[in-house]
């Protein structure tokens, strides 16, 4: 598997609300065809919505990949999903990181319609969010921003007044703090 990000945001017109029912699960899997589908089916059968899914190679020879899944639903059902995922062939372990000490981040590229009369205002907002302009066009800018999901939500919400042409978000990645397993 190569690094892949899919974002299943429910509404592009407003930021996702902070929810007590949002969970982040990391799953270490053997890098084999069909593993992603089997894991996604476990979530689907239990009626859980996957908000974002990031798959990337783990350290080593490429034999393993790490899935980071951000999903929404009730905690009891998620506990069953994690147990079922752990029982799947090719899954090494699955961990729900909700409420645990983790470092998490997300990245987004935002293409904004940007005529000259609004460029200064857009650049000032981008600077406040530590976003970097990675492409200047005559009537557009592409801005790269990274950080917590709430930060990206707030930035994209402010940019909507200028007309977002395209938005690509990576989905959340995370790592457990200290020597805890991710």
Please give the domain boundaries of the chain with CATH numbers for all domains.
4-99 (3.30.70.260), 103-174 (3.30.70.1150)
Reported pTM: 0.79
- Whether pLDDT at 5 is above 70: no
Query: Nearest 5°: phi and psi at 172?
Result: -75, 135
pLDDT for 159 equals 96
- Is residue 19 classed as helix, strand or coil in its secondary structure? coil
**How confident is the prediction for the chain on average, in pLDDT?**
88
Looking only at the bridges linking them, the beta strands covering 49-57 and 22-30 are unpaired
Task: State the pLDDT at residue 129.
Answer: 97
Between 49 and 13, the more confident residue is 49
Contact 152, 77 (CB under 8 A): no
Nearest CA-CA partner of 94 in 78, 113, 116 = 78
- The end-to-end CA distance of the chain, in Å, is 19
Spell out the residues 6+ positions from residue 159 whose beta carbon is closer than 8 angstroms to its own: 110, 112, 122, 125, 143
11 alpha-carbon distance from chain centroid: 15
User: CB within 8 A of 123, min separation 6: which ones?
Assistant: 133, 141
Of 50, 45, 51, 35, nearest to 1 by C-alpha is 35
What's the half-sphere exposure (Cβ side, CA atoms, 13 Å) at 111? 9
Proportion of the chain in helix, strand, coil states, percent, rounded to 5? 30, 40, 30
Q: Name the band, by pLDDT with cuts 50, 70 and 90, for residue 20.
A: low
Encode pLDDT of 65-103 as tens digits: 999 999 988 889 999 999 999 999 999 999 999 889 999
pLDDT above 70 for 10: no
């Amino acid at each position: 598997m190569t690094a892949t990000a899919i974002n299943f945001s429910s509404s592009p017109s407003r930021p996702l609300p902070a929810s007590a029912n949002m969970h982040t699960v990391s799953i270490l899997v053997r890098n084999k065809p069909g593993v992603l589908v089997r894991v996604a089916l476990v979530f689907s059968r239990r009626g859980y919505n996957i908000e974002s899914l990031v798959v990337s190679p783990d350290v080593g020879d490429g034999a393993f990949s790490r899935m980071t899944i951000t999903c929404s639903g009730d905690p009891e059902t998620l506990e069953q999903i994690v147990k079922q995922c752990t029982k799947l062939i090719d899954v090494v372990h699955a961990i729900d990181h909700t409420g645990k000490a983790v470092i998490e981040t997300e990245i987004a590229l935002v293409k904004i319609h940007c005529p000259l009369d609004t460029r200064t205002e857009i650049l000032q907002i981008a600077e406040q969010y530590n976003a970097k302009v990675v492409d200047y066009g005559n009537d557009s800018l592409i801005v790269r921003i990274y950080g917590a999901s709430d930060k990206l939500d707030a930035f994209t919400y402010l940019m909507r007044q200028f007309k977002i042409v395209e938005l690509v978000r990576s989905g959340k990645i995370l790592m457990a703090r200290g020597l805890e397993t991710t």
